[in-house]
Amino acid sequence: MNAVITGVTKGIGYAIAQAFAAGGFNLAVTARSEEGLNALRRSFGQYFPKSEVLALPFNLGRKEEAKAFGRAVLEHFPTVDVLVNNAGLFLMDDVTQEEDYVLEQMMAVNLYGPYYLTKALLPAMKKRRQGHIFNICSTASLAPQADKGAYGITKFALLGFTKALRLELQDQGIRVTAVLPGSTWSASWEGSGVPEDQLMRAEDVALAVWNAWSMSRNTVVEEILMQPQK
């Protein structure tokens, strides 16, 4: 089985990649950092030697690169069982004061990247009438949050895309799940002053994704909403 996962060099994406490698999947992964992808390839080669890893650097905020990654995946793995659209960009600002590029950059990464990559890989799923697409949204997909106005706009849009996909694909054997995690510990929180034990663990989000995939094909978990306990 083959899983495609974006934004894998840290945090939730890395944990999801670990979960599927441990479950016996081959992986096609991407991120912008070639150094980070090389580190992942070395680590997975040591701990998951039976999992083949195709790791390619792409900027999914660029339409042609998102499409190119999709083509590269299908040239290497002709079938795709799982797609996890995890790559994302967060820029904190006030929507009434921010420069135009803030919304534009986040929309390109957070919505257009998943949109074009999904469209590139869908024909392979439709041909077999099976597959599972996970879009990593956010609690910001449900309600606006202070200093996260433009980010919330993009995540609202990603949730809308997810719902539209689910409706269109429900009769074609393809499951679609929105994952809406709250604050989750990753390297980006270091130095913030927020104690690690007050945030969720990326491994818990990965476990939720794995469990949703593991259910029978007759069942789809439409949304996974997760919050820190504190």
Domains of the chain: 2-226 (3.40.50.720)
Active-site position among 14, 115, 116, 151: 151
pTM: 0.93
User: Per residue of the chain (230 residues), what is the pLDDT tens digit?
Assistant: 999 999 999 999 999 999 999 999 999 999 999 999 999 999 999 999 999 999 999 999 999 999 999 999 999 999 999 999 999 988 777 766 777 888 899 999 999 999 999 999 999 999 999 999 999 999 889 887 777 778 899 999 999 999 999 999 999 999 999 999 988 877 666 566 677 777 889 999 999 999 999 999 999 999 999 998 87
CA 153 to chain centroid, in Å, comes to: 17
Cα–Cα distances (Å) from 224 to 86, 180, 207, in that order, read: 14, 6, 11
Instruction: Check residue 149 and give its pLDDT.
Output: 79
Residue 6 CA to residue 42 CA, distance in Å, equals: 18
Q: How many CB atoms lie within 10 A of CB 165?
A: 21
Instruction: Check residue 101 and give its pLDDT.
Output: 84
112 part of the active site: no
